Amino acid sequence: MVDVDGVLVHPHGGGHWSDRLEADLGLSRADLDRAFFAPHWQDVMLGRADLFDRLAPALAQIAPHLSPQTLVDYWFAADARLDEALLGDLAVLRAGGLALHLATVQEHHRARYLWETLGLKARFDAMHYAADLGSAKPDPAFYAAIEARTGYAPLELALLDDRPANVAAARARGWGGLIWDGRRPLGDLLAEL
């Protein structure tokens, strides 16, 4: 199980996808946080509300010049640099018979973007994400739902993630867990596992 953000996918130019939001689209990150992310993100991320249904009224208040589609297109494209070196290492493992799945905190639209537009469906066997599962890392329900969907026992699973809390939660369920910071070769981490 491989995490997406911070592991496989990074913002173009480093930093955060919204670093140039105000300069490029005339929308401050603080306003977006206040009107959209703070009140709505939890419901969107967990699949209880649609991204566009919650984003449209927020933008009407804080940036009526922006359509939800324009902002989403900007956001997804700005946060879409693939780590090709890691993907290459993972492809070798997959060619050797290891099943590779994504285990990620995403809402439905970005999950589709990652899977289809960025082409991760050609590189992974399945994708398990928060909005589809109704829970997010590090909630134990997230890991339990993946076990139920895949039929794998905890001892057959390992998570590669950049957040120690997510790895700790996977280990608490009996999974293997590897913290990815991009500094050590994947082979070295797997040898420790």
Residue 14 lies in a domain: no
Say how many domains are in the chain.
2
34 lies in the same domain as 92:
no
Residue 9 lies in a domain: no
102 lies in the same domain as 177:
yes
50 lies in the same domain as 31:
yes
> pLDDT above 90 covers what percent of the chain?
96
pLDDT in tens, 99-124: 999 999 999 999 999 999 999 999 99
Angstrom distance (rounded) from CA 79 to CA 63:
21
Q: Hey, what are 166's tokens? A: 């997510």
Query: Domain limits at 50?
Result: 21-78
The strand ranges marked E within the chain are 9-10, 81-82, 101-104, 126-129, 158-161, 176-179
Length reported for the chain: 193
- The pTM of the full predicted model, rounded to 2 decimals, is 0.95
Residue 188 lies in a domain: yes
pLDDT in tens, 127-161: 999 999 999 999 999 999 999 999 999 999 999 99
Q: Sign of the CA dihedral 165, 171, 177, 183?
A: positive
pLDDT band at 192 (very low <50, low <70, confident <90, very high): confident
3-state secondary structure of 97: coil
Provide the pLDDT for residue 113. Answer: 98
Provide the pLDDT for residue 13. Answer: 87
pLDDT in tens, 2-40: 999 999 999 998 899 999 999 999 999 999 999 999 999
143 lies in the same domain as 94:
yes
Q: Hey, what are 121's tokens? A: 């469906």
145 lies in the same domain as 182:
yes
Is residue 51 classed exposed, middle or buried when 0-12, 13-18 and 19+ CB atoms within 10 A define those classes?
buried
| Cis omega (within 30 of 0) for bond into 57 | no
108 lies in the same domain as 151:
yes
Residue 12 lies in a domain: no
Per-residue HEC secondary structure of 111-140 comes to: HHHHHHHCCHHHCCCEEEEHHHHCCCCCCH
